[in-house]
Structure 1
Amino acid sequence: MALSSRAQGLLMVLTATVALSTAGLMTRLVGVDAPTLTFLRGLFGGLFLLACLLTVSRGRSIDEFLRLGRVGFFISIISAMAMILFINALYMTSVAHVSVIFALCPFVAAGLAFVVLKERPNAMSLFASGIALVGIALMMNGGGGGTRGGDLAGDFLALAMTGLIGLWTVMVRRYPQTPALPSTILPTVMAAVMIAPFASPLLASAHDVVLILLFGVCGFSAGFLMLLVGSRLLPPVESVLIGSLEAPLAPLWVFLFAGEAPDAHALVGGTIVFAAVCLNVVAGHRTSRNVCGDAGA
């Protein structure tokens, strides 16, 4: 049986969130600095996505980029800036801190969606967001956890990145006709170009290059593309609320594979965030079923 558009959006955004949540682990497994990591990840990710575009466009690649227009270019700039801020924040503070701050994004997206789209979030999304806020507050109360404590400058970068991602989510919803692949390729290339003067890719070891290649393609590029497509099928507050699952997932990967253990506050708070997301998804599914049932009556 074919999935509904909402179910497809949920699946894409959820899968994308899991893939993108591995970014913190990547920063702990490689020995390069933040600019070099940003440059190499953008280079590898951009080349992979460009290959995808060349495969599916059948000679219309230039036309696809031209379809971006001024709006698509603006969305790409937002994405590129968020990418740069994200990696630098992970280097300057703990993965748990970055993830917790990013989990505030549903509130940013909801506010921007109301202003830009005149789209009122439903009562259940607001209720679930409130529950998520409790979990986020609990996690922040426990500090950063792990080997890197929370640093104010890193937290500020994470907060700025969160605002940009909230704006990006609303813009994607507002302009769904923006071509997906070019909208993903351009910001990755932009981020690499912006950071190139500060990067030292020739000093990276073969081990680091291979890891960045794997994470850049499987975790970042594929995940970002699925997030872009899936976000068009869901209200901004709902898609970003699912994305807040990164708050418990990112520290989990770092704990399992890099030994950076979050404290009890992070574990309990992350569980609360996860419960809030599940509550919202289940309630939304029941609502959509009831609407379908009423329509068929």
Structure 2
Amino acid sequence: MDERRNHLLGVIFVTAGAVTWSSAGFFTRLIGLDYPTMIAGRGIFGAIGMLAIIILLAPKTWISQFRGMTRWDGLFIANYIFGTICYVSSLGQTSIAHNAVIFATLPFIAALFGWMFLKTLPSREAVFSSIVAMVGVVVMVGFSNDGALLGDILSFLGTASMAASMIIVRRYPDVNIPAGSTIASFVSGVIALPFADLAMVTPTHFTYLVLFGLLNASAGLTLYSMGSKRLPPVETALISLIDTPLSPFWVWLAFNETMGPQTLVGGMIVLFAVVLHIWLSQKRQRLRSASAASART
């Protein structure tokens, strides 16, 4: 597969994964149970969904994917468990808007980790688009005081964990993302299960928990992992910012949570930054392809 097509597929998969992940706030509002119960449901049913995808894609060899894991697979799994618990918990401890603005620091954290551990510098396009996106998020959230310190800390830790996952995958490409994610998702659910209030779970709640796991966890992670190996960490992080305007939008659409003009304007700026980056990066890829073709002739 040529470099340009591989890059485009990475952009498509990461974008689709980010759109799917943006439903987390919607599901937590919809389910309305305590957060250990929601973490348990998302983790266990998400693991079931991911395992089904693995079996579907490799029905004869799927068991072998869970064998021979290295310490880097273990690092990926531990980081995933930590990040999942922090991220889902933060959704109930701070506002969706605060969660969004903290998540928007992802490209900067990914760029910092990439420089520290991969010795790679982000492209000028990625840096410029990240700055534009951050402006949009600042406009969207403004100086609101509807967050809480604990929730903001948990959100930041979840964001840093996602950035770390990107670095691990890029640094150790042999990490088995599907198998590792399945294990991590299941373990995160089992860890939360003893603290869950299962007596409050109705058949309707159960259905929502299944959907939360299958759509938000398994589908989102599958798409995201398919794309992240094809893109630099800062680019993956930047495209993920599409989650920022979409998260409060789904909650507003379904539950009529107030979304003021600054949210709308800021969200449009973030979306513009993502589209701008995709266009600039594709333009750079075309120029590289043309230059390489010219050099061969």
AA matched with 2:261: A
1:42 counterpart residue number: 43
In structure 2, the gaps of 5 or more residues are none
Task: Compute the displacement of 1:183 (Å).
Answer: 2.2
1:87 counterpart residue number: 88
1:183 counterpart residue number: 180
3-state secondary structure, aligned to 1:143: coil
2:255 counterpart residue number: 258
d(CA) in 2 for partners of 1:282, 1:56: 32
d(CA) in 2 for partners of 1:190, 1:119: 33
Q: 2:169 pairs with 158, 167, 172, which one?
A: 172
Task: Compute the displacement of 1:19 (Å).
Answer: 0.4
d(CA) in 1 for partners of 2:70, 2:173: 13
d(CA) in 2 for partners of 1:285, 1:209: 43
Summarize the alignment of residues 85-164 of structure 1 with structure 2, pairs less than 5 Å apart. Answer: 85-143=86-144, 149-164=146-161
1:185-220 per-residue CA deviation (whole Å, 9 max, x = no partner) reads 011012112212211234311111111212321222
1:262-286 per-residue CA deviation (whole Å, 9 max, x = no partner) reads 2222222222111111111100000
Task: Compute the displacement of 1:103 (Å).
Answer: 1.1
Name whichever of 56-65 and 150-159 sits farther off: 56-65
Note if contact 1:54-1:61 (Cα within 8 Å) is conserved in structure 2: yes
Please tell me the root mean square deviation across aligned C-alpha atoms, in Å: 1.7
TM-score in terms of structure 2 length: 0.94
d(CA) in 1 for partners of 2:184, 2:157: 17
Moved segments of 4+, more than 4 Å:
none
Among all aligned residue pairs of Structure 1 and Structure 2, give the percentage whose two residues are the same amino acid. 32
Task: Compute the displacement of 1:174 (Å).
Answer: 1.2
Task: Compute the displacement of 1:47 (Å).
Answer: 1.1
1:20 counterpart residue number: 21
Note if contact 1:142-1:265 (Cα within 8 Å) is conserved in structure 2: no
3-state secondary structure, aligned to 2:244: helix
AA matched with 1:90: L
AA matched with 2:239: I
Q: Does 1:221 align with 2:218?
A: yes
TM-score in terms of structure 1 length: 0.94
Task: Compute the displacement of 1:52 (Å).
Answer: 2.2
Summarize the alignment of residues 196-215 of structure 1 with structure 2, pairs less than 5 Å apart. Answer: 196-215=193-212
Name whichever of 108-117 and 187-196 sits farther off: 187-196
3-state secondary structure, aligned to 1:4: helix
d(CA) in 1 for partners of 2:94, 2:264: 18
Size of the aligned set, in residue pairs, is 293
d(CA) in 1 for partners of 2:169, 2:236: 11
Note if contact 1:18-1:249 (Cα within 8 Å) is conserved in structure 2: yes
Note if contact 1:173-1:232 (Cα within 8 Å) is conserved in structure 2: yes
2:280 counterpart residue number: 283
1:8 counterpart residue number: 9
3-state secondary structure, aligned to 1:44: helix
Note if contact 1:25-1:250 (Cα within 8 Å) is conserved in structure 2: yes
Name whichever of 179-188 and 103-112 sits farther off: 179-188
d(CA) in 2 for partners of 1:85, 1:173: 23
Name whichever of 105-114 and 81-90 sits farther off: 81-90
Task: Compute the displacement of 1:125 (Å).
Answer: 0.8
1:30-59 per-residue CA deviation (whole Å, 9 max, x = no partner) reads 131100000011111111211222333334
Task: Compute the displacement of 1:234 (Å).
Answer: 0.3
Task: Compute the displacement of 1:86 (Å).
Answer: 1.1
Note if contact 2:43-2:217 (Cα within 8 Å) is conserved in structure 1: no
- Classify 1:90/1:21 alpha carbon distance in 2 versus 1 (closer, same or farther; 3 Å): same
